[in-house]
Amino acid sequence: MHLQELPQYVAIDIQEALEERFMESEAMYVRFLRKLLTSDDYKLMEEAAAAENWQEVLRYAHNLKGVCATLGLTGLQAQFADIVSLLRNEEYTVAQLQEKLVAVKHEWQRTLQYIEQLESA
C-alpha cells in the first residue's frame, strides 16, 4: 500500500505531519510510522489497565497521544486524548474507562494493520 492511500482506511493527516514534522520526507515518515509496530507503550498501557493502575494508564495514554499527534494519526490522538481527559478528571467509572479502552484498542489494531502494509517510500 502506498502512503497516500492510508487516509482511506485510517484517520490521518499525512500532509501536516510531512510538512510540519518530517521535512516532507515520506521515507522518514514511513520509518517513524513503522516504529509503532514495535512500540511497547500500548501493551504496557493495557497491562496497567488490567491491574487497575490508572496513573500508569494515564502516563502511557499521554505518551501515545503525543506520538499519534506527531505522526498525524488524528483519530488515535483524539481517542487517547479522551482517555487522558477522563483520567485527569478523576470523576469516572471503571466502566466508562473500559469503554474508551475497548474503542482505542480496535482503532490501534486497525491502524497497525494498515501501517504494516505500507511500502517503503
pTM of the model: 0.94
What residue numbers bound the domain in which 112 lies?
3-116
Residue 95 within any structural domain of the chain: yes
**Single-letter residue type at 34:** R
Ordered DSSP codes for 58-119: HHHHHHHHHHHHHHT-HHHHHHHHHHHHHHHH----HHHHHHHHHHHHHHHHHHHHHHHTPP
* Residue 77 maps to a domain: yes
Read off the pLDDT of residues 60-93 as tens digits, 9 standing for 90 and up: 999 999 999 999 999 999 999 999 999 999 889 9
Is residue 66, in this structure, part of any structural domain at all? yes
Determine the average pLDDT of the residues in 20-36. Answer: 97
At 5, list the grid cell.
Answer: 492511500
Has residue 30 been placed in a domain? yes
Q: For position 112, which CATH number holds? A: 1.20.120
Residue 121 pLDDT level (bands cut at 50, 70, 90): low
- Residue at 38 is within a domain: yes
Secondary structure of residue 6 in the 3-state scheme: helix
42 domain-assigned:
yes
121 within some domain:
no
**Number of compact structural domains in the chain:** 1
